[in-house]
Amino acid sequence: MRNYSKLIGALAAVSALAAGNASAIDLNYNLHGGYTSEYIFRGINLGNDLVEAGFDASTEVGAGLTVSAGVWYANFDSTSALGTEANQNEIDLYAKVSKDLGFATASVGYIYYYNDNSNDIRDLVLGKLDDAQEVSFGLSREFFGVNLGLTYYWDIVEDNDGYTELTASKAFELNSCLTLNVGAALGYLAERGHLSHLTTKVSLDYEFVENARLSPFVALSIDLSNGHFDDPAPRPTTSSVPDTKNELVGGAMISVDF
């Protein structure tokens, strides 16, 4: 909540850059930002008052082959087991290559999670998030208007317990400017052999101008770990036991396509 001026400035700068280059090369751009009451990552509450901004680009480089990449910035307040709070920043860099195989779309991706933990003493007291890197392998397909996906995330630095996620989503066009989106994600920890969470989300896209949308949303994360989280996991790890109780969060996103 302290970085609104920086967030707005970054969004404006990237928007101007994208608008100037979108017509020069065959790329699709998306600029997005927003606020969420709590930062829920794979069923784990990492903090409160999440302010985020991101920029994505994608292009087709061959028949059925798509390459995409992006950057995501987040600012939020985290709380340690001691009850002390710290304002933290996270930057994720990611890229993915996907191929339409006919029966499904296969993808291979990479994610680098960078967390700003500049003060080692503060980190020991307040609790910090560790940097991590993941490679993902996924399959997706549409069945009767429902988009289904199954992705395995392999952490090549730390250990995310073989995190695997099954997703399902569907969009309902209400009128020319309103679209209702519903989705769910089910997490499974392969190395532990049990489910981790079920997260459902409902959002309403309002296209207030062409290629620009405002999307208020609510999401419910249900803990399915049954007390198995006896140490920090999955990515990113923390110096305190993560909060895995059921969570209801809300927020809004704004996004622009170029």
- pLDDT values of the chain reduced to their tens digit, one per residue, 258 residues: 444 444 444 444 445 544 455 444 589 999 999 999 999 999 999 999 999 999 999 999 877 799 999 999 999 998 665 556 788 999 999 999 999 998 999 999 999 999 886 444 444 444 556 789 999 999 999 999 999 999 999 999 888 999 999 999 999 999 999 999 999 999 999 999 999 999 999 999 999 999 999 999 999 999 998 755 444 444 444 333 355 689 999 999 999 999
Q: What is the largest CA-CA distance in the chain?
A: 54
Domain span holding position 129:
4-257
90 exposed, middle or buried (CB, 10 Å; 0-12, 13-18, 19+)? buried
Residues paired with residue 148 on neighbouring β-strands, in sequence order: 141, 168
124 exposed, middle or buried (CB, 10 Å; 0-12, 13-18, 19+)? exposed
Judge contact between 209 and 225, C-beta under 8 A.
no
Specify the CATH number for the domain of residue 237.
2.40.160.40
What's the predicted TM-score (pTM) here? 0.81
The confidence score (pLDDT) of residue 2 equals: 47
The confidence score (pLDDT) of residue 11 equals: 47
Residues paired with residue 205 on neighbouring β-strands, in sequence order: 179
Judge contact between 71 and 103, C-beta under 8 A.
no
Count of domains forming the chain? 1
**In 22-163, where does DSSP find H-type helix?**
120-126
Contacts 24+ apart (CB under 8 A), 70-73: 70/30, 70/94, 70/95, 73/7, 73/10
Judge contact between 80 and 94, C-beta under 8 A.
no
Judge contact between 11 and 17, C-beta under 8 A.
no
